[in-house]
Copies of this chain bind each other. A is one copy, B any other.
Amino acid sequence: MAASATLKATTEASLTLHQRIRADIENRILSGEWPPGHRIPFEHELMAQYGCARMTVNKVIAGLAAAGLIERRRRAGSFVAQPRIHSAVLQIPDIQVEIPARGETYGYELIHCRRRLANADDPLESALADGADVLDIRCRHFAGGRPLALEERLIGLSVVPEAADADFSTVPPGTWLLNHVPWTEAEHRISALNATARMAEGLSVAKGAACLCLERRTWRANATITYVRQIFRGDLYDLVARFSPQG
């Protein structure tokens, strides 16, 4: 076998040693060769096997642990984790970006934009503090000329005062917020509902048609920035989520 000094040079397809070790271990797990619960070789064994330093395999395995493929237990070793299909990365696109990407023309219409005080009685507004100064926005999104989604949105003006001066007659509030509000945390809720008479009219569908409802609350440092409810036509839209070990 080649000495460790030449190993780097003989690496296939010019991958780094780190990437090669990671891909190797990942393959063994995903192919089923190393089933859940299997104890993977100790760091010093891998180190000998790949002819490298412990720090190198340590970083690889720590990465796999962060990705959820492996669980580590001191003194005992590192084990292939139980698969947990139930966590997947969901793509929740900015509609204005997603529709053109599909090859359809995007359209937008502002229905109203009012400044007022939040009313905690309304369950929709309970996400924001009672009496908060909010912007109440209602709008529609179109794809290929047809209505795709209705949007109801509240923006907390104490957190995002600049929003009061924004012009939402041409720019959708979601797009504006993405460009004006830095990193946040968010929670989404996805459900199905039958179109009410008002929704049906706004979406050009029959009353009772199935719609996908996406609610999102976004906050920063415990202050709610925005709460949105988007109602999508069920026949025109669906969401895709993927799970793969690279995250």
CB distance from A50 to the nearest CB of B (A): 20
Known contacts A87-B90, A89-B89, A193-B210; A188 and B242 CB within 8 A of each other: yes
Copies in the complex: 2
Task: Report B-chain residues with C-beta under 8 Å of the C-beta of A32.
Answer: 181-183, 220
In the assembled complex, A73 has its CB within 8 A of some CB on chain B: no
The count of residues in chain A whose C-beta lies closer than 8 Å to any C-beta of chain B is 60
In the assembled complex, A51 has its CB within 8 A of some CB on chain B: no
In the assembled complex, A184 has its CB within 8 A of some CB on chain B: yes
In the assembled complex, A167 has its CB within 8 A of some CB on chain B: no
Measured between alpha carbons, how far is A86 from B178 in the docked complex, in Å?
10
Known contacts A89-B89, A220-B32, A247-B247; A194 and B182 CB within 8 A of each other: no
Task: Report B-chain residues with C-beta under 8 Å of the C-beta of A182.
Answer: 29, 32, 34-36, 80, 83
Task: Report B-chain residues with C-beta under 8 Å of the C-beta of A209.
Answer: 194
- The answer on a CB contact under 8 Å between B191 and A241 is no
**For residue A34, which residue of chain B has the nearest CB?**
B182
Q: Which of B87, B191, B242 contacts A238 (CB 8 A)?
A: B191
Task: Report B-chain residues with C-beta under 8 Å of the C-beta of A240.
Answer: 187-190
- The answer on a CB contact under 8 Å between B192 and A212 is yes
Measured between alpha carbons, how far is A181 from B35 in the docked complex, in Å?
8
- The answer on a CB contact under 8 Å between B186 and A221 is no
Measured between alpha carbons, how far is A234 from B29 in the docked complex, in Å?
36
- The answer on a CB contact under 8 Å between B92 and A30 is no
For A151-191 the 0/1 string (1 means CB < 8 A from B) is: 00000000000000000000000000010011111111111
Nearest 3 Cβ contacts at the A-B interface: A192-B234, A191-B238, A192-B192
Interface residues of chain A, those whose CB is within 8 Å of chain B, are 29-32, 34-36, 59, 63, 66, 69, 80, 83, 85-94, 178, 181-194, 208-213, 216, 218, 220-221, 232, 234, 237-245, 247
